[in-house]
Amino acid sequence: MADTVPDAAPPPSLQRKFTRAVILAAVLPAVGLGLADQVAAYRSQTQYLRDRVEVTAALSGAAVDEFVQAKLSSVALLADLGTVVKADGWRARLGELRERYPHFISALVADGNGTVLATSPEPPANAPSSGVRDREYFRVPQRSHRPYVSDAFVGRRLGNDALVAVSAPLMADGRFMGVVEGSIPVSAFVSTRTSAIQRRGMELLIVDRSHRVIHASDGIPYAFLQDAGDRVAFEDPVSGRRSTPAVFMSDVMRDGRGAWMSQARLESGWTLIVFAPETELWSFLYRRALTSFGIMTLVLLGVWFAYRWQMRRFNAALKRLVESLGGLAADGGNTISRIASLPDEFQPLGRAIRDLSQRLESTNTDLQASLQEQRNLALSLQDSLQQTESEVAARTAELQAAVEALDRLNQTDALTGCLNRRGLQKRLSSWSDDRGELFEPITAIAFDVDHFKAYNDRYGHAAGDTALRRLAGAVSGLLDDSPGCLARSGGEEFLLIVPTATCPDATSLGIAVCEAARRLSIPHQDSATGMMTISVGVAQGRAGEDVATVLIAADEALYRAKHAGRNRVES
């Protein structure tokens, strides 16, 4: 009996193997690229949100500081004008204050015991008549003899509004005589800022020195005067920064989601916090994932259809080749007559090879067309990536503009609004080269207040600050549209720089600066004239001269004016 041989397993299909290889070669790189793109997008968007919340906190803090300090300066200026005995006189001045600064919902004057002397507007007849001795805005100036920005409180004379107050002491011969106070509704300085921040998808929180809520936007679960210290760790920005680095907090939003937050400590002692909800990040990643998935799907579909189309053509060509070889074997006579140069034995094979070569050439042409389609698809993907890069560049430009705005704030003296030393150096660099040599002639005018220390000792530092602000404003008015600049070089010292082309008579300009100070008519009992005066030094530098030499010359001229008796101009 013959041995039976078991049926061998059919060999694996070459087409099936090729199909799996094509799928793996297309799917794995596409999935890998998609995941890498998502990781890169997550890191990039996270850093973008952190940078944006830090910049927003810094700019918002600066805006709130500017608003509050302006109101504080107005109240301090009114207090510096002196004590008015009659209540009617104070009512008129309070009315003028509220007319000039409409954000004050009310203003009052109280004596040294906290008794209200005058208010604007007048409270209704049924309003409580208690004094303000218990109010923070009275007690702190009473102790410190300095202007003060209060924490948040609820009004009681004209309503129950959410308020903050700015107040300044009334002083006479160094004795505390009372306060001038202005109440500001919280909505006056947060409404516009909150709307702008929320339009950018962020939320705003402001707390006072006791970490009680002054204002919280709708997306944050805080109420007015609520203690926020149990959920937020408050910290000061590091030196050289306006805001703290952004950190992530979970469960901080009203809907329970987390957010990135950055804090800015204000000059008033308040803390401003900006929150960027994490929903914006996940929304961006979701849109990015949908885009990547769509692109990958189109690529895979293109590969699959191209593969299926080519496989159908390959199978058809193979079938025709087999049929041609079979036909050659069946019809050798016709074949030999067409390829007579080949031996009889090779006529069928030669014809089959010739037909196969022709069909391979046709297949190669089709393959080139398919590759061109792939190149077109790659170009489309490249255009999409370029558009994304353009969006990133636009956002980078926005951040750069915000940084430049913050840099401008860092170049300005907070007290007088003039340039500070950093701003002066940057402005001088536009008139000189890297070696400090001038491009064009300039005039430098150095001046400072005569007997300013004695003025501060007699009238107080608040009066001294007010005098410096008024002096800076008067001298700035002399510039008009001139390309010059005014800088506070330190203490009571100032430096005025103008191109000589716009000021051919430097001494006349120095005299005008001196006269501007006299016209302020600021009383100064320790001055020889009884009024505050200044000493002025003038120097001019030629093109090519070292700018530091010109500034030193102006400073030396100032000292000569001091030694010559003050209240004069020396060139």
DSSP character string of 59-83:
HHHHHHHHHHHHHHHHHHHHHHT--
pLDDT above 50 for 556: yes
Residues belonging to the chain: 571
Residues 6 or more apart in contact with residue 235 via CB below 8 angstroms: 244, 263
Residue 87 to residues 118, 130, 210, 328, Cα–Cα distance (Å): 5, 17, 34, 125
Residue 319 to residues 12, 334, 365, Cα–Cα distance (Å): 19, 21, 19
Q: The tokens of 249 are what?
A: 């907090």
Q: The tokens of 241 are what?
A: 């920064």
Where does the pLDDT of residue 314 fall: very low under 50, low under 70, confident under 90, or very high at 90 and above?
A: low
CA distance linking residue 95 with residue 102, whole number of Å: 10
pLDDT above 50 for 257: yes
Least confident of 10-19, 257-266, 276-285: 10-19
Residue 148 to residues 104, 142, 225, 540, Cα–Cα distance (Å): 15, 10, 19, 43
Stronger pLDDT, 550 or 371, i.e. the higher one = 550
Q: What is the pLDDT averaged over residues 540-569? A: 92
| pLDDT for the residue numbered 336 | 43
Where does the pLDDT of residue 291 fall: very low under 50, low under 70, confident under 90, or very high at 90 and above?
A: confident
CA distance linking residue 294 with residue 309, whole number of Å: 22
**Mean pLDDT rounded to a whole number for the chain:** 83
Select from 225, 224, 231, 273 the least CA-distant residue to 252: 231
Q: Are 102 and 115 in contact, with CB atoms under 8 Å apart?
A: no
Name 534's bridge partners: 449
| pLDDT for the residue numbered 180 | 95
| pLDDT for the residue numbered 409 | 73
Amino acid (1-letter code) at residue 127: A
What's the predicted TM-score (pTM) here?
A: 0.50
pLDDT above 60 for 8: no
Residues 6 or more apart in contact with residue 263 via CB below 8 angstroms: 57, 234, 235, 237, 243, 244, 271, 272, 273
Name 276's bridge partners: 260
Q: Are 498 and 540 in contact, with CB atoms under 8 Å apart?
A: no
pLDDT in tens, 100-135: 999 999 999 999 899 988 898 887 776 666 789 989
Least confident of 14-28, 159-173, 269-283, 411-425: 14-28
Looking up tokens 């430049």 gives: 404
Where does the pLDDT of residue 341 fall: very low under 50, low under 70, confident under 90, or very high at 90 and above?
A: low
Where does the pLDDT of residue 335 fall: very low under 50, low under 70, confident under 90, or very high at 90 and above?
A: very low
Q: What is the pLDDT averaged over residues 285-294? A: 79
Backbone angles phi, psi at 214, to 5 degrees: -90, -45
Q: Are 75 and 179 in contact, with CB atoms under 8 Å apart?
A: no
Name 114's bridge partners: none
pLDDT in tens, 468-512: 999 999 998 888 777 889 999 888 999 999 988 777 788 888 999
| pLDDT for the residue numbered 557 | 94
**Residue 431 region by backbone torsions, left for phi larger than 0, else alpha for psi between -120 and 50, else beta:** alpha
**Residue 101 region by backbone torsions, left for phi larger than 0, else alpha for psi between -120 and 50, else beta:** beta
CA atoms within 13 A on the CB side of 294: 9
CA distance linking residue 17 with residue 324, whole number of Å: 27
pLDDT above 70 for 224: yes
pLDDT in tens, 437-450: 888 899 999 999 99
Q: What is the pLDDT averaged over residues 452-464? A: 94
Report the greatest alpha carbon distance in the chain: 143
Angle between helix axes 347-410 and 278-330 (nearest 10 degrees) is 170
Stronger pLDDT, 213 or 282, i.e. the higher one = 213
Helix (H) or strand (E) holding 522: none
CB atoms within 10 A of CB 387: 9
Burial of 84 (0-12, 13-18, 19+ CB in 10 A): middle
Respond yes or no on whether the N-terminal peptide bond of residue 121 is cis (omega within 30° of 0).
yes
Backbone angles phi, psi at 310, to 5 degrees: -65, -40
CB atoms within 10 A of CB 197: 22
Where does the pLDDT of residue 333 fall: very low under 50, low under 70, confident under 90, or very high at 90 and above?
A: very low
Q: The tokens of 326 are what?
A: 């079979």
Q: The tokens of 25 are what?
A: 């070669």
Q: Are 168 and 141 in contact, with CB atoms under 8 Å apart?
A: yes
CA distance linking residue 277 with residue 407, whole number of Å: 27
Residues 6 or more apart in contact with residue 397 via CB below 8 angstroms: none
Q: Are 288 and 265 in contact, with CB atoms under 8 Å apart?
A: no
| Percent of the chain topping pLDDT 70 | 84
Provide the pairing of β-strand 534-541 with 569-570: parallel
CA dihedral of residues 41, 42, 43, 47 (deg, nearest 10):
100
Q: What is the pLDDT averaged over residues 342-354? A: 60
pLDDT in tens, 373-400: 888 888 887 887 788 788 888 887 887 8
